[in-house]
């Protein structure tokens, strides 16, 4: 049987497979072939290398394994409380074992006087050491106890109901490995294996399923993680290289307008970090290749001006520019801000959002097509096919790291002759490891410094019962002429309840501050109404803005100095950080107050504590990743860019870094993987591409 054919074998042919098991593996886990099964890795292992004496066992232990003899057993209780209780002892002591299920079976097969090997979680029940529902096997002598690390596979409830547990899967893996071994071929070149002291693919696949020692297990994981991340990075970096080769970019060489803006109208000095990223962007826009760059910078780091200056470079060279924002409010704010500059320079700018009237749209469309309009600010409306430019040179996407490859491609087509340069700006800092995998195909610039003179926001945590003190504090800030945001959660599943919370909050605030003009802003309002409310707040007509997270991104009201977040326990870390970023935009000291109830879980405490401790978005993103894992970081799951089978972006940053550097070095020396010594890598990349396209077709 040929190499590839073996692994394409239908699982039905595997020893130990039954029709029932086969169906479950197919429907529940999507496993069809030998290749699917062998790549279905355990997510943790139980250490069965140690056998404790019963005296050593305490309820502090996660799990314990022991050999014991059943002294006596009895069935007690009725109905749902019916259970089997047994006393089990070794030479050192005794432990009580309890079962609520499988009673009939246990009555027959749990034999007094017999030795068993037990494994489970020890607990303390009224001072009595106990184990409920331990795993058990009849003890067959010394070698039996010399078990190893037992693989635990990710399984579903349905599988467990059909008695397909990790042991069954491990048994199938064992059967598979016993025949598959000679067919497993190496997938990493020898020099890489040598350089990083990796074990072979054969060894790795064997020990990932049936680890013979802790060391083998560690080596197996390291090898497979490295391989996965190496090919992931290789693919992304290659994509970037190929794109640069394939897609030329307009060369923007002259900078007259830009210089005059810089010399005459710049409202402040740029930070060093801003200057650095502008240099990086300019280099791209003059390189002759199409730019695809991600600009990361914390809230308030001054990304807008970087974007504007980049636009000027395009306009300087006879091209047009557009900036796309996720919401109407934000688009409007950009428009207002940029229009001031545009007017000073005598360049034209228009705003295109869903609420722009049809007859106004027509004018905008014409202006874009004739080239009369230099800058277009807008929302997703820009995507529409009727929106055509004379020569779009630069497209900026603001506050949107959720922007997928498909959407980017759609923007490219806004210029059929030469694709526009693309700059994606995000204020949701993402950890280094995530950026490398999610945006491995983009070039990344980072603004890691805030403008000088910005006072760090002071963040505190207050319990709901201290609301009166918080109100008193709000009053004192209002007396100084400041403005306040009060934010309530709005989560889709409980939209009705949230809406009530918001309205109740609004009521109680208007009672507490009868003289103070309030505004309200939530997702159910019409865009026009939202704009009116926001405009009133911007003009200081309202002093307190009661809102849901619709104000999350981008809005800029420098006079607002307090951000109160109600039910802060219901927000994720990055969202809390985004919301906090709405204050601290002016010269005054700003405050963020996180309100919660008394009962907080461990993770919630960690989130709140992190917010209180630091204002650094990158640090916060790192904690967020540790708490939630990469799959839950917003937007990443849909992107599908990180379908990693074994590597964990929260913990494998070091391996990722090395894998990326290795991939980079190879592609730098041999961009097309044409050299003989890269044959294996080339084949592997092609093989993976085939698999992904197959998968795409299926799903």
Residues that bind Mg ion (CB under 5 A): 554
- Judged by beta carbon, residue 422 or residue 608, the one nearer ligand ADP is 422
Q: Which stretch binds ligand ADP (CB under 6 A): 6-14, 190-198, 293-301, 613-621?
A: 293-301
Near ligand ADP by CB under 6 A: residue from 95, 285, 299, 435: 299
Q: Residue 28: count other Cβ atoms within 10 Å of its Cβ.
A: 15
Q: In whole angstroms, give the CA distance from residue 30 to residue 332.
A: 47
Q: Candidates 56-64, 267-275, 366-374, 660-668: pick the segment binding ligand ADP (CB under 6 A).
A: 267-275
Alpha-carbon gap, residue 438 to 444, rounded angstroms: 11
Residue 556 interacting with ligand ADP (CB under 6 A): yes
Quote the CA–CA distance of 699 and 697 in Å, as a whole number: 6
Contact 69, 113 (CB under 8 A): yes
Interatomic CA distance for residues 578 and 33, integer angstroms: 45
Collapsed DSSP state (helix, strand, coil) of residue 349: strand
Q: Which is nearer to ligand ADP, 247 or 282 (CB)?
A: 282
Q: Tell me which of 42, 120, 211, 297 binds ligand ADP, using CB under 6 A.
A: 297
Counting contacts by CB under 6 A, is residue 383 touching ligand ADP? no
Q: Distances from the Cα of 276 to the Cαs of 60, 272, 306, 421, in angstroms? A: 53, 6, 10, 18
User: Of the two residues 318 and 558, which places its CB atom closer to ligand ADP in the complex?
Assistant: 558
Which residue's CB is nearer to ligand ADP, number 304 or number 636? 304
* CB-based burial, 205-216: b 16+ in 10 Å, e otherwise: bbbbbbbeeeeb
How crowded is residue 407: how many other Cβ atoms within 10 Å of its Cβ? 16
> How many residues of this chain bind ligand ADP (CB under 6 A)?
17
Site string for ligand ADP, 420-439 (x = CB under 6 A): -------x------------
| Alpha-carbon span 249 to 288, nearest angstrom | 5
Sign of the CA dihedral 236, 238, 239, 241? positive
Smallest distance, Å, CB 260 to Mg ion? 25
Min dist. Cβ of residue 565 to ligand ADP (A): 18
**300 interacts with ligand ADP by CB under 6 A:** yes
Stretch that binds ligand ADP, among 168-176, 276-284, 295-303, 563-571 (CB under 6 A): 295-303
Q: What residue 151 binds from ligand ADP, Mg ion, none (CB within 5 to 8 A, per partner kind)?
A: none
Least distance from ligand ADP to the Cβ atom of residue 542, Å? 20
Binding at 270: pick from Mg ion, ligand ADP, none (beta carbon under 5-8 Å per type): ligand ADP
Give the strand pairing for 115-120 and 64-76: antiparallel
Report which residue's Cβ sits closest to ligand ADP.
302
Q: Is the dihedral of CA 378, 382, 387, 388 positive or negative?
A: positive
Q: Are 332 and 462 in contact (CB under 8 A)?
A: no
Quote the least distance from Cβ 540 to ligand ADP, whole Å.
16
Residues in 303-322 that interact with ligand ADP by CB under 6 A: 303-305
* Residue 298 vs 652, nearer CB to Mg ion: 298
How many whole angstroms separate alpha carbon 172 and alpha carbon 169?
Answer: 5
Angle, helix 573-580 to helix 602-613, in steps of 10 degrees? 30
97 vs 425 by CB, closer to ligand ADP:
425
Instruction: Candidates 209, 365, 522, 585: give the one binding ligand ADP (CB under 6 A).
Output: 585
Query: How far is residue 184's CA from residue 352's CA, in Å, rounded to a whole number?
Result: 57
Alpha helix (H) residue ranges in 181-213 = 190-195, 201-209
As measured in angstroms, the least distance from the Cβ of 382 to Mg ion is 17
> Which single residue brings its beta carbon nearest to Mg ion?
554
Only segment of 254-262, 264-272, 530-538, 636-644 that touches ligand ADP (CB under 6 A): 264-272
Residue with smaller CB distance to Mg ion, 498 or 552: 552
CB of residue 445 vs ligand ADP: minimum separation in angstroms? 12
**Binder of ligand ADP out of 68, 120, 211, 302 (CB under 6 A):** 302
What's the sign of the alpha-carbon dihedral 680, 681, 687, 690?
negative
The string of DSSP letters for 401-426 reads TT--HHHHHHHHTTSSSSPPEEEEEE
Among 326, 280, 40, residue whose Cα is nearest residue 172: 40
Residue 239: which of ligand ADP, Mg ion, none does it interact with, CB under 5 to 8 A by kind? none
The CB-of-380 to Mg ion minimum distance in angstroms stands at 17
The CA distance from 453 to 558, in Å, is 14
* Residue 262 binds ligand ADP, judged by CB under 6 A: no
> CA angle 100-102-107, nearest 5°?
100
Structure tokens at 153: 């596979």
Q: How far is the CB of 325 from Mg ion (least distance, A)?
A: 8
- Could you say which residues in the range 53-92 bind ligand ADP, by CB under 6 A? none
With CB under 6 A as the contact rule, which of the stretches 189-197, 239-247, 263-271, 276-284 interacts with ligand ADP? 263-271
331 makes contact with ligand ADP (CB under 6 A): no
Q: How many residues does the chain have?
A: 699
Angle at 240 between CA 239 and CA 243, to 5 degrees: 85
CB of 407 to ligand ADP, least distance (A): 20
**Could you tell me if 119 and 135 are in contact, meaning their C-beta atoms sit under 8 angstroms apart?**
yes
Using CB under 6 A as the binding rule, the residues of this chain from 448 to 467 that contact ligand ADP are 451
Which parts of this chain interact with ligand ADP (CB under 6 A)?
A: 268-271, 274, 297, 299-305, 427, 451, 556, 585
């Amino acid at each position: 049987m040929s190499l590839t054919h073996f692994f394409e074998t239908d699982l039905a042919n595997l020893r130990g497979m039954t029709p029932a098991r086969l169906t479950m593996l197919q429907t529940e886990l999507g496993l069809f072939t030998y290749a699917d099964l062998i790549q279905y890795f355990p997510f943790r292992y139980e250490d069965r290398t140690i056998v404790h004496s019963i005296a050593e066992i305490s309820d502090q232990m996660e799990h314990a394994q022991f050999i014991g003899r059943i002294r006596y057993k009895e069935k007690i209780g009725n109905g749902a409380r019916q259970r089997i209780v047994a006393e089990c002892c070794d030479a050192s002591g005794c432990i009580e074992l309890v079962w609520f299920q499988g009673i009939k079976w246990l009555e027959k097969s749990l034999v007094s006087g017999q030795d068993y090997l037990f494994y489970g979680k020890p607990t303390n029940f009224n001072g009595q050491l106990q184990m409920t529902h331990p795993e058990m096997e009849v003890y067959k002598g010394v070698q039996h106890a010399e078990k190893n690390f037992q693989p635990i596979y990710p399984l579903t409830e349905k599988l467990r109901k059909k008695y397909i547990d990790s042991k069954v899967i491990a048994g199938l893996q064992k059967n598979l490995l016993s025949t598959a071994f000679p067919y497993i071929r190496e997938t990493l070149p020898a020099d890489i294996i040598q350089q990083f002291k990796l074990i072979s693919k054969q060894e790795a696949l064997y020990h990932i399923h049936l680890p013979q020692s802790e060391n083998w297990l560690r080596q197996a994981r390291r090898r497979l993680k490295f391989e996965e991340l190496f090919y992931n990075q290789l693919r992304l970096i290659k994509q970037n290289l190929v794109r640069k080769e394939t897609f030329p970019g307009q060369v923007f060489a002259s900078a007259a307008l830009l210089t005059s803006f810089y010399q005459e109208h710049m409202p402040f000095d740029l930070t060093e970090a801003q200057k650095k990223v502008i240099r990086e962007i300019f280099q791209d826009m003059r390189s002759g290749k199409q730019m695809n760059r991600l600009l990361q910078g914390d809230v308030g780091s001054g990304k807008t001006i970087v974007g504007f200056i980049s636009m000027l470079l395009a306009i300087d060279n006879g091209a047009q520019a557009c900036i796309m924002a996720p919401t109407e409010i934000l688009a409007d704010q950009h428009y207002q801000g940029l229009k001031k500059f545009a007017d000073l320079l005598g360049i034209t700018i228009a705003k295109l959002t869903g609420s722009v009237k049809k007859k106004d749209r027509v004018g905008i469309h014409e202006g874009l097509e004739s080239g009369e309009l230099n800058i277009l600010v807008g929302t997703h409306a820009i995507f529409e096919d009727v929106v055509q430019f004379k020569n779009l040179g630069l497209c900026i996407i603001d506050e949107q790291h959720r922007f997928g490859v498909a959407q980017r491609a759609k923007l490219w087509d806004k210029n059929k002759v030469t694709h526009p340069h693309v700059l994606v700006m995000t204020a949701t800092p993402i950890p280094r490891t995530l950026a490398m995998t999610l945006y491995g195909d983009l070039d990344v610039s980072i603004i890691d410094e805030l403008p000088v003179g910005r006072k760090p926001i002071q963040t505190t945590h207050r319990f709901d019962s201290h609301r009166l003190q918080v109100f008193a504090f709000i009053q004192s800030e209002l007396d100084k002429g400041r403005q306040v945001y009060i934010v309530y959660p709005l989560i889709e599943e409980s939209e009705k309840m949230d809406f009530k919370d918001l309205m109740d909050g609004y009521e109680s605030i208007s009672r507490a501050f009868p003289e103070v003009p309030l505004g309200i802003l939530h997702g159910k309002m019409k865009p026009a109404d939202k704009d009116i409310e926001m405009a009133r707040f911007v003009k200081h007509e309202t002093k307190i803005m009661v809102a849901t997270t619709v104000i999350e991104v981008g809005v800029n009201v420098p006079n607002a100095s307090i951000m109160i977040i109600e039910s802060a326990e219901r927000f994720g870390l990055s969202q809390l950080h985004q919301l906090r970023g709405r204050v601290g935009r002016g010269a005054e000291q700003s405050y963020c107050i996180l309100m919660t109830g008394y009962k907080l879980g461990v993770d919630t405490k960690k989130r709140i504590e992190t917010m209180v401790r630091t204002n650094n978005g990158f640090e916060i993103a790192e904690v967020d990743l540790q708490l939630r894992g990469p799959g839950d970081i917003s937007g990443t799951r849909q992107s599908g860019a990180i379908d990693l089978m074994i590597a964990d972006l929260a913990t494998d940053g070091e391996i990722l870094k090395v894998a990326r550097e290795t991939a980079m070095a190879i592609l730098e020396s041999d961009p097309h993987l044409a050299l003989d010594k890269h044959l294996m890598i080339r084949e592997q990349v092609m093989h993976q591409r085939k698999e992904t396209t197959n998968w795409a077709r299926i799903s």
